[in-house]
Amino acid sequence: MTEAWMVPVMAGLFGLMVGSFLNVCTLRWPQDESIVSPGPRCPKCLKPVQWYDNVPILSWIILRARCRSCAGPISVQYPLVELASALIWAGVFAVHGATLEALRGGIFLWILFGISIADARFYIIPNQFSMGGAVIGLGMSFFPGGIEWTRSIIGAVVGYAVLWIVG
């Protein structure tokens, strides 16, 4: 029998990992950089970050918010985004349990969180977030418990048309 606390804890650990990835997306996509290559690097000295220095939150604390190579500062954004992402995922799964609704909620809150970070920092919403969210939303509409797929497609078409007319 699974303990009730295990699902949110596991979701929170997952949130830490995807929070680290979210930092990469929110910092690179607005600048039209790849999220794949180059790997993580210090923004000051551009030296690659080793895997053992890339553990969410823990590495930032152990390194005292400094790069191991050049002692340049590591932004507090990194652990804050990782922690917030962990709380988002843990919270959604604490409320909804291990359900498709929790997965759907976690994905969309995570995307909205990424949008808010990129917008606050660069005043831009990367297409990867908005279009990715639209595709995921349409895909999730085919699963039970959400908006039916026909209404989802109509909403996507109307939303696109409004933005096309305004833009």
For residue 114, what are the contacts with CB-CB under 8 A and spacing of at least 6? 22, 25, 26, 129
Name 66's bridge partners: 73
| pLDDT number for residue 43 | 85
Averaged confidence pLDDT in the chain? 93
CB burial of residue 56 (10 Å; 0-12, 13-18, 19+): buried
Average pLDDT over residues 100-120: 96
pLDDT of 145 higher than 90:
no
Confidence of residue 144 (pLDDT cuts 50, 70, 90): confident
Q: Single out the residue of 33, 37, 80, 32 nearest to residue 60, CA to CA.
A: 80
* pTM, full prediction: 0.87
Domain coordinates of the chain in residue numbers? Answer: 6-124, 126-167
Average pLDDT over residues 142-147: 82
**Per-position DSSP letters for 76-93, written without gaps between them:** THHHHHHHHHHHHHHHHH
pLDDT of 167 higher than 90:
no
Distance (Å, rounded) from C-alpha 152 to C-alpha 132? 15
Cα-Cα-Cα-Cα torsion 156, 162, 163, 164, nearest 10 degrees, comes to 100
